[in-house]
Amino acid sequence: MSAYFGGYNEFVFDGNKLLCYMSDYPMKPLTPNHIIEVHDDADWEALLAFCNKLKWEAEYDDPNTLDGTQWELEFEFLNTKFRTYGSNAYPRGFNTFLRKLKKVLSKHQIVLDM
């Protein structure tokens, strides 16, 4: 997720760890800023369950906004796999997704400004 004149945030699930790449600049850091153990984390499992039920379109776009926020979600878990993208437009449930992600991050004193 990134915004014009904003930062960069990428979260990669790798085994039992969530790798957090976060920057105040619009580019990915070379190494993760945070590595979170998510094995047996009920909030992480709730986020996965939520994402596993999503039926989002491939793309959301607001052509009337020149600069703003671009986001992308690639998800693969159990039998569900999808990729979705947005530019200044969001699907129903996006705020719930962010709230659940922020809950996982906040337990590790990681703040996601979005």
Helices within the chain (DSSP H only): 42-52, 94-106
**pTM for this prediction:** 0.86
d(C-alpha 1, C-alpha 70), whole Å: 6
Q: Which pLDDT score is estimated for 62?
A: 92
pLDDT at 112 > cutoff 60? yes
The model's pLDDT over 7-54, given as tens digits with 9 standing for 90+, comes to: 788 899 888 899 999 988 888 899 999 999 998 999 999 999 999 899
Asked if the structure places residue 112 within a domain, the reply is no
| Number of domains the chain contains | 1
Q: Is residue 23 included in any domain, yes or no?
A: yes
pLDDT, mean over the chain: 88
Residue 31 placed within a domain: yes
In this structure, is residue 88 part of a structural domain? yes
Domain extent for 68: 2-106
CA atoms within 13 A on the CB side of 20: 18
Q: Would you call 44 helix, strand, or coil by DSSP?
A: helix
Q: Quick check: is 111 in a domain?
A: no
Q: Beta strands 59-61 and 80-87: pairing type?
A: parallel
Tell me, yes or no, whether 47 lies in a domain: yes
Q: Is residue 80 assigned to a domain?
A: yes
Q: Is residue 89 part of a domain?
A: yes
Is the model's pLDDT at 1 over the cut of 70? no
Q: In the prediction, which pLDDT does 91 show?
A: 95
